[in-house]
Structure 1
Amino acid sequence: MPVSSSDLATQSIKKLLIRQSVPASVGILFMTVNVLIDAIFVGRWIGSLAIAALSVVMPLTFFISSLGMAIGVGGSSVLSRALGKNQKEKAINVFAHQIMMTFGLCSFIVLLGIIFKDEILLLFGANGEIKEPAEAFYMPILLAVPFQALCMMGNNVIRAEDKSRHAMAAMIVSAVANIVFDILFIKVLGMGIFGAALATALSFFLCFVYITWFFIFRSELRPSLKHFVFRSVITKEIASLSFVTFARQGVISILAILLNHTLFSYGGEHAVTVYGIISRMLMFALFPVLGITQGFLPVAGYNYGAEKYGRVRQSVFTAITFAGGMAIAIFIIILVFAKPIVSIFTTDAAVIRDTPGALRWVFAASPIIAVQLIGAAYFQAAGKATKALMLTLSKQGFFLIPLVLILPHFFGIFGVWVAFPIADVLSTLITGIFLKKEMSKELSI
């Protein structure tokens, strides 16, 4: 029996969350495995310095591609509520606007990235011996970023249609292609870090091909030429919610710049390499929690649009329960197996010595992050852009960046690592307060 978006208003919340979250989690797993494999292959076949180069370039390209993610998440919140109200024409218009906004904005920023390449690399921390490999990695990745952005946008729209298996498949295509091309270009052809960049760029393109196929042959949303005309009302509605996600990703990129420069100042290339491994573990290890958050968005958004507030309330509590259990399990694994995990990335004895302790500190508050992630996602799904923006920025923007600026002056590099759990605790407390008020007022109806 074919899946319809209307199922989001009728089937059990647990079943819907599992159906949405499992493919989302698997997709995120493959996407983060993509990043991990790059780091492992680069670290073992090229050298630990190359991991530092990846740590410099990837936040920049992630910032640009996050435009697609932002427009995808923000637009899909509008789209989900439109489908919940049976406004299919509006949903198609929203999707057409998402395509135009993603392609236009990303292409413009990529052009700036080409013109100001040297200044941007220096800004993002391409210092000392890191500069040369960072330059080799930069250009192929930058040129492929619009394809990645369109994939990230399309992925969110696919989940809003309740066809999350295709969203998962798109990420699997990208991850498998990257692994195959990494082996070919780095190991077989000996192309070094340029080969790693070329492999990643081609994997983005293949993901884009799959996403395009889905929207031509499988989607409920098939815009025609008449839909590709900018309408200010739709553009503003998408932009107001997209800004929430983009602001968060922008703050993450600012944080990456700050971390790269702070770590280089206190520990040179070695400290940047240590964080290169930790940052990839942050993306990889939390994939089930992030998958549940992604699966929660269309369920909450659709039911909020349909004014089924009891189901929205139930989806919040169920998602927090599922994600919280996963986060606790992840914390235990990191606590016990930190050193073996780090050893997978490199044979550098100094990196293996220093990274496990830092990794444990960074993950120290992970058991409670489900409240912060699901809470912020609820306000975005409900279309409450201001609260969603504030809560989304709370960890990195309001707490982590100031802590990274202050604590190293007193505790050195240890101050960087301990800033992460402090920021997690503070942002979770604030989100919990806002979410409790929402539960007792609007969602009590």
Structure 2
Amino acid sequence: MQEKKDNRLGTEPLGKLMVSLALPAVAAQLINLLYNIVDRIYIGHIKGYGDVALTGVGVTFPIIMLIAAFSAFAGMGGAPLASIQLGKKDYQEAEKILGNSAGMIVFFSIVLTIGFLIFKTPVLYAFGASDATIGYAEDYITIYLFGTIFVQLALGLNTFISGQGAAKTAMLSVLIGAVINICLDPVFIFALDMGVKGAALATVISQAVSAVWVVRFLVSGKSVIRLKTSNMRLEGKIVRNIASLGISPFIMQSTESLVSITLNAGLQKYGGDLYVGTMSIMTSVMQMIVIPVQGITQGVQPIISYNYGAGNKKRVIGTFSRLIGICFGATLVLAGVAVLAPEVYASIFTSKRELVELTSQVMPVYFMGLTIFGIQSACQSTFLALGEAKVSVLIALLRKVILLIPLAILLPKWMGVMGIYRAEPIADVTSVVVTSILFIFTMKKILPKMGKSDMMEEKKN
């Protein structure tokens, strides 16, 4: 029964399989994006103080990203390993990986909730809050933190659903929460006059429902691998394996927090609240561009992992070749729209003319390098799918920690506030070039080591 459920990853025609897995994953990522985007759209249009409230909520973004980063550490670190074990038909080991990932998520949730609740005020000021925005930031993040366990379970464990090829189920787990969030937002924010507190409460309730859906599926007979409490006891070897692979997506997401801190602090210093407001909007637009691409890579990743575990070189090569072309085309189009029509995006999040005009002025500069970023996303995902932890970590560190943050600190000294916006495209282009070179050399070493099963594949087709 288990083999029937996951065997399509190794036998179904690649084009059809990639579409069937990628489309639900993209839909899930876009739906998940609505959690924060819808909140910000509603908050930005609150009469009288929407622009200030939007800036305050934007300051909480580093904390939210850090919470998501820990779920990625456990979930995205464990899911590819479980998929590789599925390719080897070792279901018991795959279930141990799932259980240990779940145990790590519970531990992280407890520590993060307590830590941020205690230190939230100084942390928010460090992240760019001002006396005018701190109240809104605290109102939002205090309620959000009480839902940390739900956020982490929903995000972290859902990767194990998509990792076994159940992309539609993974999409539904996100869709259910998003629909609830969209319905509750206007009720809590406007009808009950709760403002930013209402937006946070709607998010927590919707994530709780998603978490219940995900856990319920993974403990049921519908799942190829089952979540069992006996496997949640952490084992050193399994945790180390998850950590070695999970550190890369953790760095990618947690450094979003560090980047936000650096950019917001610099914009506050060289520009003021209005400039911090532009970053709140552009962060949301950035998500609108990057998250669909992440959906594509997340949907396709199990195909690479499964066939790598099965030793099927031909399917691995065919999958990542198509993945690179698709991701590059996606960022070229999506980021290109942001460069050519910035006012359209800016107007979605605020009705304040001054903020729309400033955002429209800086957005084309900020997003120029993102047009080719799909190449790096595809390479990064392929490295994770193959279990190449060291290269993944290097790529994750390169763009943000090694390039973007130092540039965002140094360039404003000579270029003023525009130096902060120009740091992003310089970092993007440089990291794509370096990643491409690393990808070519690394794949030349990995592929010859794989077992040869091309003849078997040809017979099947």
Q: Which residue, out of 307, 318, 328, partners 1:303?
A: 307
Name which of 281, 287, 301 aligns with 1:283: 287
In structure 2, which of residues 111, 135, 154 is the aligned counterpart of residue 151 of structure 1?
154
- Please report how far the alpha carbon of residue 366 of structure 1 lies from its aligned counterpart in structure 2 after TM superposition: 2.3
Equivalent position amino acid for 2:162 in 1 = R
> What is the alpha-carbon distance in structure 2 between the residues aligned to residue 295 and residue 209 of structure 1?
22
Could you say which residue in structure 2 is the equivalent of 1:443? Answer: 447
Given that 2:158 and 2:214 are in contact with CA atoms closer than 8 Å, whether structure 1 keeps it comes out as yes
Aligned twin of 1:266: 270
- Find out whether 1:63 has 2:73 as its counterpart: no
Q: Residues 151-170 of structure 1 correspond to what in structure 2 (within 5 A)?
A: 151-170=154-173
Distance 1:436 1:357 in 2: 37
Deviation at 1:93, TM superposition (A): 0.6
1:381 positional shift:
1.2
340, 353, 374: which is aligned to 1:336? 340
One of 137, 140, 143 as aligned partner of 1:137: 140
Q: Which amino acid aligns with 1:134?
A: A
Q: Alpha-carbon deviations, 1:258-312, whole Å to 9, x = none?
A: 1111111111111111110000000013333221111222111111111112221
Letter in 1 for 2:31: F
1:38 corresponds in structure 2 to 39
Instruction: Say whether the 8 Å CA contact 2:411–2:420 is kept in structure 1.
Output: yes
The whole-number CA distance in structure 1 between the counterparts of 2:268 and 2:11 is: 53
How far apart, in 2, do the equivalents of 1:395 and 1:372 lie? 10
Residue 258 (structure 2) pairs with residue 254 (structure 1): yes
Task: Give the C-alpha shift of residue 390 in structure 1.
Answer: 0.5
Relative to structure 1, the CA distance from residue 332 to residue 257 in structure 2 (aligned partners, 3 Å threshold; closer, same or farther) is closer
Q: Answer yes or no: is the 8 Å Cα contact 1:5–1:160 preserved in 2.
A: no
Q: Partner amino acid for 2:408?
A: V
Cα–Cα, structure 1 residues 442 and 214, in superposed 2: closer, same or farther, change >3 Å? Answer: same
Question: Pairwise mapping of residues 10-409 of structure 1 onto structure 2 (< 5 A)?
Answer: 10-45=11-46, 46-217=49-220, 218-409=222-413
Q: Is the CA contact (8 Å cut-off) linking 2:55 and 2:277 kept in structure 1? A: yes
1-side partners of 2:122 and 2:444: how far apart? 50
Distance in 1, Cα, partners of 2:160 & 2:349: 34
Asked if 2 retains the 8 angstrom alpha-carbon contact of 1:65 and 1:106, the reply is no
Q: Following TM superposition, by how much is the alpha carbon of 1:432 offset from its aligned partner in structure 2, in angstroms?
A: 0.3
- Partner Cα separation in structure 2 for residue 419 and residue 280 of structure 1: 18
Q: Deviations over 1:6-55 (max 9, x none)?
A: 21111222222212211111011111122211111000015111111111
CA distance in structure 2 between the aligned counterparts of 1:273 and 1:149, rounded to whole angstroms: 27
In 2: Cα distance, 1:11 partner to 1:213 partner: 28
- TM-score, normalised relative to structure 1: 0.96
- CA distance, structure 1, for counterparts of residue 190 and residue 352 of structure 2: 19
Distance 2:229 2:280 in 1: 44
Q: Distance in 2 between matches of 1:241 and 1:128?
A: 40
Matched residue SS, 2:146 = helix
Contact 1:17 1:295 in 2 (8 A): yes
Tell me: CA distance 1:158–1:61, structure 2 relative to 1, closer, same or farther (3 Å). Answer: same
- What amino acid maps onto 1:272 in structure 2? V
Deviation of the 1:369 alpha carbon = 1.0
Tell me the secondary structure at the aligned position of residue 286 of structure 1.
helix
Gaps of 5+ in 2: 451-461
- Aligned residues of 1:247 and 1:389 also touching (Cα < 8 A): yes
What SS does the aligned partner of 1:162 have?
coil
CA offset digits 1:183-219 (Å, max 9, x no partner): 1011111111111111111111111121122123321
Offset, 1:367:
2.6
Q: Secondary structure at the match of 2:397?
A: helix
Q: 2: distance between equivalents of 1:154 and 1:249?
A: 17
Q: Indicate conservation of the 8 Å contact 2:126/2:261, yes or no.
A: yes
- Count of residues in correspondence between the two structures: 445
Task: Determine whether 1:415 maps to 2:415.
Answer: no
For 1:421 and 1:125, how far apart are their aligned partners in 2?
22
Structure 2 residue 8 is the aligned partner of structure 1 residue 4? no
For residues 128 and 371 of structure 2, the distance between their equivalents in structure 1, rounded to whole angstroms, comes to: 31
**What SS class does the counterpart of residue 387 from structure 2 fall into?**
coil
**SS, match of residue 60 in structure 2:** helix
Q: Verify the 8 A CA contact 1:327 1:366 in the aligned structure 2.
A: yes
Letter in 2 for 1:245: P
Rounded to whole Å, the distance in 1 between the matches of 2:142 and 2:150 is 14
Residue range with higher mean Cα deviation, 252-261 or 8-17? 8-17
**TM-score, reference length from structure 2:** 0.93
Specify the code of the residue in structure 2 equivalent to 1:24.
Answer: A
Gaps of 5+ in 1: none
Please report how far the alpha carbon of residue 76 of structure 1 lies from its aligned counterpart in structure 2 after TM superposition.
0.7
Q: Cα offset for 1:225?
A: 4.0
Deviations 1:218-265 (A, max 9, x none): 212224343233221111111111111112222211111111111111
Q: Report the Cα distance in structure 1 between the residues aligned to 2:307 and 2:344, rounded to whole angstroms.
A: 44
CA contact (8 A) 1:65 1:146 kept: no
